[in-house]
Structure 1
Amino acid sequence: MKRMVAEWEKQRVVLLSFPHKDTDWHDPEDKKSLEEALSPFIRIAQAIAYAEPVYIICDNKEKISGMFCSTRNMTFIEIPTNDTWIRDYGYISVKEEDELKLLDFTFDGWGGKFEAALDNGVNTILHNMGYMGTTSMETIDFVLEGGSLESDGEGTILTTSKCLCNPNRNGGLSKEAVEAKLRETLGATRVLWLDHGYLAGDDTDSHIDTLARFVNRETIMYVKCEDQSDEHYEALKKMEEQLQTFKTVEGKPYNLVALPMSDAIYDEEGDRLPATYANFLITNDALIYPTYGTPQDKVTHQVFAAQFPEREIIPVNCLKLIEQGGSLHCSTMQVAY
């Protein structure tokens, strides 16, 4: 039996990819831009490393390691990258007969929107350097991003049709064709398709990890918009209605836990940024979630504390991250045991 490992299962390490001078985080006219961009990545790494190992991919390991007060549980690895969103080009962990295998899918910069050749090569370089030990890696000629998939660890995949069936990925496959590929590569026994929901300012074509997330085999957390004047209201209401029709493997309705929609946040040009609380990370001992300096931050903390009583709930300010279109979960990728 093959299956995609759920995020809440035991993790071996979490991967991060730090900003550098050749990424969009660097503004030649603003010397502080890169320094400001590094700040949330440092905080995320610290939040993870207190309880489990972190591999930090960077351009200069001496420089980056020097930014930390403590580097316990941290390993700094120099590999060239285009960008920082390793959720979408990092390994996807699957188990086959309880043996871990790392899958290296093709990453094309979210349908050719951005240059991604270096990012697409990270998994192979990291594996060749020996950081994954004797764990095998399989490279697959199919465009698939980690942020587009949610797994319950038992064969159910939650995803969005807008992303996986988009013409800018694999030529625009049908749901049936995508499902066949997910069965082949991830051992998917069924796929739950969300056909509604989006975030303004999102470059990913509605990645599932911005909208709805498995937190156990019977529970889905999702973004709920209460403000009828918000542009997302109708689409997220339809998404909620569709989630209500989904059933567990046993045929029971899922336990649906709503996360608040953040107040609108805009960049200097007046464009709305994709602030979402669904972009959290589950680690071995913690739930790390993004904050945006809005009233919903506190409400979200309470929701997570109620849902994860056995884990430490750690907030990280991610206002800087959403300026580049991603958030906390997008900047990380866990590797299973």
Structure 2
Amino acid sequence: MTTNSLSSTAFSLPAETPASQGFSMPAEFAPHKACWMLWPQRPDTWRYGAKPAQQAFVDVASAIADSETVFVGVNDEQYENARNQLPESVRVVELSNNDAWMRDVGPTFLTSPDGHLAMVDWQFNAWGGLEGGLYFPWDKDRRIRSKIAEILGIPRFEVPVVLEGGAIHVDGEGTLITTRECLLNPNRNPGLDQAGMEQVLREYLGVTKVIWLPRGCYRDETDGHVDNLCCFVAPGEVALTWCDDENDPQHAISRQALELLENSTDARGRSLKVHKFTQPGPLHIAEEEASGIDRLNSSYPRQPGDRMAASYVNFYIGNSVVVMPLLDPAHDDDARKRLQALFPDRRVIGVPAREILLGGGNIHCITQQQPSV
């Protein structure tokens, strides 16, 4: 199996795109109808049969359920276990999957001014296919979006472009932020250049301005997803992962991103206000944490001492809550206070999230908001 391949010259957009029909992607801080998640069980991703990770997912789902309806998709063999662990208010649905990263395998929801909901069904190749991807196969993950479209009874716009939800953030007013490291990576869409990708983003997400950051967080195994580095917290305002240590590779990445953001304007011509969030740690995989993971040739290896791409920017914005990862006692309280200042009308809930980080992502990566219409 190979990655999807297309070129910006060969790829032609259909006559009817989401943007041509008035659809666009709302900001995450806009009102939600629900949140979608998946249930972890993969033993080569999650240690000790995913039991520690399952508790972390329960904590995240419970926190978000105070704010909006939460759906958790589960493989059949884990249905009863998930149902018994999750609160009654969380809706558990059978939804076959290869792994639990709903942000990347779930739909990108769209809304229209006349009150309709739709979704974009991107291609998915497990973050790089056979050229750096994290596991094989990913066939069940590829069907999740179409199944959710069936459950909700909404239109589905399928596009032959590989794109994960964690690779993009929007302000809901025409601006999208992403990284070249990910969206222009040849293991996603070989031959699709920046101009071609921007055309896709405009027509399928309804944006008019794309801000390209060079790289994502250091050692991010997703090839630099923007949701671990930078996100919109309000129109004209972003949160940015920060590092003061000049000897840390993250320092140069964050500094480069800051300079670009401070010299950028959004789709409405506003200068961007940047809020810095000092990174946790640095955090590394401990010996006992690595020893609990199954070693398979078809999955990404995690070794003792490996640095993890830990970030406080990887949080979820709900209707009445912001759910943030607790990762480092030295920095957790400061990150919580900064988030509370940015979201004074929402309750900031910290969830111990190291088990999610050990799997390669964090709270934003395991959630996907369904906007209200």
Task: Give the shorter-chain TM-score range.
Answer: over 0.9
Which of 64, 68, 81 lines up with 1:48 in the alignment?
64
Which of 153, 178, 181 lines up with 1:159 in the alignment?
178
Partner amino acid for 1:53? T
Asked if 1:195 corresponds to 2:214, the answer is yes
1:151 Cα deviation from its structure 2 partner: 0.6
Partner amino acid for 1:34? A
Aligned counterparts of 1:26 and 1:326: Cα–Cα separation in 2: 11
SS at match of 2:127: helix
TM-score (norm 1): 0.93
Alpha-carbon displacement from aligned partner over 1:22-60 (angstroms, at most 9, x marks no partner): 452455xxxx44211211100000001122111111123
Aligned counterparts of 1:104 and 1:332: Cα–Cα separation in 2: 16
Alignment correspondent of 2:36: 15
Alpha-carbon displacement from aligned partner over 1:242-285 (angstroms, at most 9, x marks no partner): 11111133433211111111111111311101110110000011
Alpha-carbon displacement from aligned partner over 1:116-148 (angstroms, at most 9, x marks no partner): 2111111222333x2x1x322222221111000
Alignment correspondent of 1:24: 44
Do 2:217 and 2:309's aligned partners in 1 also have CA atoms closer than 8 Å? no
Alignment of 1:59-98 (within 5 A): 59=75, 60-68=78-86, 70-72=87-89, 74-98=90-114
Alignment correspondent of 2:147: 125
Give the structure, 1 or 2, with the largest relative contact order (CA under 8 Å, sep 6 or more): 2
Aligned counterparts of 2:269 and 2:108: Cα–Cα separation in 1: 28
Aligned counterparts of 2:312 and 2:332: Cα–Cα separation in 1: 8
Is the deviation greater in 5-14 or in 246-255? 246-255
Alignment correspondent of 2:278: 260
Alignment correspondent of 1:332: 367
Which of 110, 113, 117 lines up with 2:127 in the alignment?
110
Structure 2 CA distance for partners of 1:336 and 1:270, relative to 1, 3 Å: same
SS at match of 2:275: strand
Do 1:23 and 1:83's aligned partners in 2 also have CA atoms closer than 8 Å? no
SS at match of 1:287: strand
Partner amino acid for 1:170? N
Do 1:3 and 1:154's aligned partners in 2 also have CA atoms closer than 8 Å? no
SS at match of 1:3: coil
Which of 222, 238, 241 lines up with 2:240 in the alignment?
222
Aligned counterparts of 1:246 and 1:211: Cα–Cα separation in 2: 17
- Unmatched 5+ stretches in structure 2: 1-21, 288-303
Structure 2 CA distance for partners of 1:71 and 1:25, relative to 1, 3 Å: farther
Alignment correspondent of 2:342: 307
Do 1:165 and 1:175's aligned partners in 2 also have CA atoms closer than 8 Å? yes
TM-score (norm 2): 0.84
Do 2:242 and 2:276's aligned partners in 1 also have CA atoms closer than 8 Å? yes
1:61 Cα deviation from its structure 2 partner: 2.4
Structure 2 CA distance for partners of 1:181 and 1:324, relative to 1, 3 Å: same
Aligned counterparts of 1:75 and 1:66: Cα–Cα separation in 2: 12
Do 1:86 and 1:331's aligned partners in 2 also have CA atoms closer than 8 Å? yes
User: After TM superposition, which residue ranges in structure 1, 4 or more long, deviate above 4 angstroms?
Assistant: none
1:79 Cα deviation from its structure 2 partner: 1.9
The Cα RMSD (Å) is 1.5
Aligned counterparts of 1:194 and 1:334: Cα–Cα separation in 2: 24
Do 1:3 and 1:187's aligned partners in 2 also have CA atoms closer than 8 Å? yes
Q: Between the two proteins, what is the percent identity of the paired residues?
A: 30
Aligned counterparts of 2:273 and 2:146: Cα–Cα separation in 1: 39
